Amino acid sequence: MSKIEIVSIFLTIFFPKWLYPQGCSQCKLLVEQGSELSERSFGTNINIGILFLMIIPYLIIIVIFREQIKNFLLLKFGRSKH
């Protein structure tokens, strides 16, 4: 193992939990506001926030690789030569 791997493993295991990130700001805001909301609306708000944060990277990837995706789909499902 290299020195960097050993140091990374050591820091991951022995760092205090309070140094780790504590979640995204949108989820934290919804949790703080959730105390006055009903249980059902609180869960829905958290799920919508997570979906919103999850979709953005996929949209960026689709925009960056749109030509490759288009070519792949055309090869796979498009013009068949029968």
Q: Does residue 55 lie within any of the structural domains?
A: yes
Question: What does the alpha-carbon distance between residue 66 and residue 81 come to, in Å, rounded to a whole number?
Answer: 24
Question: What does the alpha-carbon distance between residue 51 and residue 46 come to, in Å, rounded to a whole number?
Answer: 9
Question: What does the alpha-carbon distance between residue 24 and residue 33 come to, in Å, rounded to a whole number?
Answer: 14
> Which structural domain, as residue segments, surrounds residue 57?
21-77
What are the DSSP calls for 10-35, one per residue? HHHHHS-GGGS----HHHHHHHHHGG
pLDDT digit string, tens, across residues 43-82? 666 777 778 878 988 999 999 999 999 999 999 887 655 5
Number of domains in the chain: 1
Q: Does residue 62 lie within any of the structural domains?
A: yes
Q: Does residue 82 lie within any of the structural domains?
A: no
pLDDT digit string, tens, across residues 6-29? 888 887 777 766 555 556 666 667
